[in-house]
Amino acid sequence: MNALEIPLDLRLPKPTARKLAEHGFATVGELLDLAPRRYDHWGALTRMSSLREGQDVTILAEVISQRIIPNRSRKGVRLEVGLTDGTDVMTAIFFATNEYRLAPHLRQLVPGASVLFAGKVGSYRGALQLTHPQFESTEGQSEDEIRERQKRPIPIYPASAKLNSWTIARAVTMVLDALDDADVPDPVPSEVRSRHGLPTHARALRLLHYPADDTEHRVARAALAWQEAFVLQSGLVAAHVGASGERAPACEVVGNTVLAGLLDTLPFALTDSQEQALSEIRSDLEQTRPMQRLLQGDVGSGKTVVALAAMCQVIGAGHQAALLAPTEILAEQHAESLRGLLTPMAARGIDVQLRLLTGSSHAPVRREVDLALRSGDPLIVVGTHALLQDAVSFGDLGLVVVDEQHRFGVAQRDRLRRPSGEATDGEKLTGSRVPHQLVMTATPIPRTVAMTVFGDLDETRLIGLPPGRTPVETFLVDSANGVWMQRLWARAREEVDSGGRVYVVCPRIDEADSVADAEEDEPGILLGVDDVGARSGAAAHVAQGPPLANVQSVAEYLRTRSPLAGLGIHELHGRMTAVDKSRVMDDFAAGRAPVVVATTVVEVGVDVPDASMMVILDAQQFGLSQLHQLRGRVGRSQRPSVCMAVHRHELSDWSIKRLDAFVSTTDGFDLADEDLKLRREGDVLGADQSGRTSGLRFLSVQRDEAVIREAREEATVLVEADPTLRAHPDLAAAVRQRAGSDLVWMERS
């Protein structure tokens, strides 16, 4: 029996098991997968200078005093216990109706004792304190037990007010005491463990939770990180090897008049990077082994024309191609730009059919598109999630292009490859055949992340900008400087007067929008509407905590009280209908409304060549990749462009570093690497649809690149020799468990 699948209520007292279940731990394995947040040592006290009001903490402190004090304004007494870390002091407070109820506290919390405390940090008259903290001392233990305990690191677990660290630690100890190591599944084969000097899975778990010294828990973490990388890479390699057993249509380049016609009529020369990408993709599409390729390109690097060339190769071979986009605006813009590139081919007698299918498509359009798809005739269809519906059926789908892949999970991007949900069937599409797949992203991904998350895809990178694109100058603007804010809006007017277009991006739609927490104060410094140039007034607004900029208020200000007054100014956000969004973007592109105030709905794919200025209000609210994507909406022609990132005056050191990184480079790949260094990695792997998190527990894509590479090499050898993992059932089970998750790149910090 798999010892890790045993329910906790068979190993622990019912109340403890019930409390753990409330926090998401139902089995032995789920509990043992909870790694300690850190390890403390008796005698090495927690630094009190690191504590902040409002934190739920577990600290090790020395008691320096205790005294009972009668309450003045109510009945009862309180016990004040002085604590120190050797440098700073704080107080723990306990209330009771009489001093007899505090007798256990007085007995255990004696001066000189080292005690673990758990509770929320509060303050009284400017001094930190813990009110009614839970605590654990060495009372009741023998001298030998105390000495033995003091030798070992103390695991401090992620805890809550209802589940403290030592409750978890006791539960873990009980579970480990009852654990039969022989029944613990080991996903890493013994010969692989031997080559890399790794302990068994069971041994690693024991070293993690009950280390004799610091070396042991470090060995455990390293082993569990290696194991996690191996399981993940085995799943990705298996997916890739499994795809090699499927068959896709071979689309020849020789004699392909559609592909040749496109390349001959392009109004620009391809970059060397685009040529290289096309060469790799052309070679893939000529094979019957399904292409599974990730095309990474920075904003404006020219991915669309590469994707179109791939689709034309498939169309010219007599098959259908689909381009899946995450939003209707992007789908419509893709359709428009593709038509523009395909139109010159008609003069040569090459007519490529192109259809658009979105959630807003009317019933007659849906019927017409459905008939065209079912016919199997060569065509390109561009669409949103509407293409994923069961009612949509292709007669001969040869290529799926998924744009902005981070907006889709693995299951979604595979939906067009296997609409029936079978492992290799694909009957609803092409009988026993599956289409090729090209996955695109304009959110640059560090190589270690790409290798970890998209290891089932071959990777191609587009480097540099196509001819006619210009780098965007980027500046930070402190919103507390009223003079700068007024100059910003004057500069925006200058851009419009010279034929440019201006985006203004806000984190919220209106004042009632709860996208982010903010104190509800009247609109202030981010609009420049407080006393113009009055720096002291602006600073006052900052101190009071003005609300986050919102589309409605900003648009109203720009229309009535800014240098942009009198111009056409539209609003754009996610609550609008697709028709209204399209109207706004049409007016913006045509210059009828040269200013658009929007949320991040414009973040992806919107292409207006005359857009020359991007203003991002409350820039500190956005992740680095979002900021970079927004900046990519300008600089899409030879016109000089500028991006102004407006931020609050008072920022954390981390926010300042992030914004400084944003202005320091326009290279999205450099920025992605910097992003990974600056932010907590969070879930590089997303959550599956059940809502259960499945992020990396021990592995760090930033720290463990060598581990990931080692694990991938071992996984490749093993899976190629045993594609079904029949000889490795423990590994197969671990891969199946991991495969229940959608793998996504988290774009927000």
- Are 398 and 332 in a shared domain? yes
pTM: 0.66
- Say yes or no: 381 and 489 in one domain: no
Q: Name the DSSP class of 72.
A: S
Within a domain: residue 56?
yes
Which distant-in-sequence residues (6+ apart) come within 8 Å of 106 by Cβ? 66, 68, 79
pLDDT for position 463: 84
What's the pLDDT at 416?
65
**Do 351 and 498 belong together in one domain?**
no
What is d(CA 367, CA 405) in angstroms, rounded to the nearest whole number? Answer: 27
Looking at 639, 665, 691, the residue that finishes a domain is: 665
CA-closest candidate to residue 672, choices 577, 564, 749: 749
Residue 411 sits in the same domain as residue 321: yes
CATH of the domain at 75: 2.40.50.140
Residue 229 belongs to some domain of the structure? no
638 vs 303, 436, 464, 468, 612, CA distance in Å?
18, 35, 15, 5, 10
Question: In this predicted structure, what is the pLDDT of residue 532?
Answer: 27
Element (H, E) at 64: strand 56-70
Q: Is residue 242 part of a domain?
A: no
Q: Are residues 415 and 525 in the same domain?
A: no
Are 414 and 526 members of one domain?
A: no
337 to each of 267, 304, 305, 313, 434, how far by Cα in Å? 13, 9, 9, 18, 27
Distance CA 405, CA 453 (A): 12
Map tokens 């009852």 to a residue.
Answer: 178
Three-state secondary-structure class, residue 232: helix
pLDDT in tens, 414-432: 666 654 333 333 333 334 5
DSSP state of 320: E
Residues 431 and 350 in one domain: yes
Please state the three-class secondary structure of 261-281 as a single string.
HHHHHCCCCCCHHHHHHHHHH
Instruction: Give pLDDT < 50 ranges for the chain.
Output: 419-431, 515-544, 686-694, 741-749
Q: Could you say which of 640, 665, 690 is where a domain stops?
A: 665
Q: Name the β-bridge partners of 475.
A: 644
Does residue 111 lie within any of the structural domains? yes
Per-residue pLDDT tens over the stretch 566-617: 999 999 998 998 889 889 999 999 999 999 999 988 876 567 889 999 999 9
Residues 496 and 541 in one domain: yes
Domain presence at residue 73: yes
Q: What share of the chain is helix, strand, coil (3-state, %, to 5)?
A: 40, 20, 40
Work out the number of other CB atoms within 10 angstroms of the CB of residue 719: 24
495 & 613 share domain: yes
Q: Measure CA 383 to chain center.
A: 24
Q: Is the domain of 409 the same as that of 482?
A: no
d(CA 297, CA 307): 12
CA torsion through residues 356, 357, 362, 368, sign: positive
CB environment 646-677: b (16+ within 10 A), e (fewer): bbbeeeeeebeebbebbbeebbbbebbbbbbe
User: Considering the domain boundaries, does residue 460 fall inside one?
Assistant: no
Query: Is the CB of residue 712 less than 8 Å from the CB of residue 237?
Result: yes
The answer to whether 419 and 645 have CB atoms below 8 angstroms apart is: no
pLDDT score at 683: 52
What b-and-e string marks burial along 339-370, b requiring 16 or more CB atoms within 10 Å of the CB? Answer: eebbeebeeeebebebbbbbebbeeeebeebb
The answer to whether the CB of 303 falls within 8 A of the CB of 366 is no
The CA-based angle 460-268-352, given to 5 degrees, is: 80
How many whole angstroms separate alpha carbon 418 and alpha carbon 393? 11
Show which of 88, 119, 152 is a domain's final residue: 152
The two tokens of residue 605 are 């794919």
Task: For residues 511 and 398, state if they share a domain.
Answer: no
Q: What is the per-residue DSSP string for 90-144?
A: EEEEEEESSGGGGHHHHHHS-TT-EEEEEEEEEEETTEEEEES-EEE--TT--HH
- Kindly tell me the burial class for residue 265, based on how many C-beta atoms sit within 10 Å of its own C-beta (0-12, 13-18, 19 or more): middle
Element at 19 (helix H, strand E): helix 14-22
- Indicate the number of domains in the chain: 3
Read off the tokens for 187.
């996903």
Structure tokens at 321: 């191609």
- 148, 98, 90: which is closest to 117 by C-alpha? 90
Amino acid at 426: G
Burial classification of residue 135, based on how many CB atoms lie within 10 Å of its CB (0-12 exposed, 13-18 middle, 19 or more buried): buried
374 is a domain residue: yes
Q: What is the CATH number of the domain that holds 408?
A: 3.40.50.300
* Any domain includes 388: yes
Distances (CA, A) of 277 to 272, 284, 340: 9, 11, 22
Considering only CA atoms, which of 309, 308, 336 is closest in space to residue 323? 308
Q: Which domain holds residue 53?
A: 42-152
CB contact set of 464 (below 8 Å; sequence gap of 6+): 271, 273, 301
| Residue 525 pLDDT | 31
Sign of the four-CA dihedral 692, 698, 702, 708:
negative
Measured CA distances, 315 to 305, 635, 669 (Å): 15, 32, 32
| CA Rg value for the chain | 30
Claim to verify: residue 428 and residue 489 sit in the same structural domain: no
One-letter amino acid at 254 equals V
Of how many residues is the chain composed?
749
